[in-house]
Amino acid sequence: MSNSKGGMGAEVCGLPRLGRATGYSLAGLRVAYQEEAAFRQEVWLALVLVPAALLLPLPLMGRAFLAVAMLAVLAMELLNTAVEAVVDLASPDFHPLAKKAKDVGSAAVLVSLVSLAISWLCALAVIFAGA
């Protein structure tokens, strides 16, 4: 397994591996929050929607689904950020394939946001209209 510096490191197993992996993940969350305005906005949205979802008068699975839908938006934004970083590294100049990769990553985030909105609208319809 390669480390984040790009070289091959000694294989680490068990708790040390989990500790390193957690550190890399937290570093990724930190850099995304610091450098990506969209991710910051979605984090703040998650801080509102996830607790709200857990408090709604819905079955447990419905509440969990709404929370997971929000977390999926964050995951998609992180993947989009990673794609953009790799594309910028590989092709700092304009290239149609670089544009395609960035546009598709952005579309994935949009699809996750639309899915989130549909999920919340359906949940609210069930609660308020008895649908």
Give the DSSP letter string of 87-123.
Answer: HHHH--S--HHHHHHHHHHHHHHHHHHHHHHHHHHHH
Q: What are the residue numbers of the active site?
A: 77
* pLDDT tens readout for residues 85-122: 999 999 889 999 999 999 999 999 999 999 999 999 99
Question: The whole model's pTM is what?
Answer: 0.86
Report the alpha-carbon distance of residue 39 to residue 32 in Å, rounded. 6
CB 123 within 8 A of CB 62: yes
Q: What is the pLDDT of residues 12-61, one digit of tens each?
A: 789 899 999 999 999 999 999 999 999 999 999 999 999 999 999 999 99
**Domains in the chain: ranges and CATH:** 37-129 (1.10.287.3610)
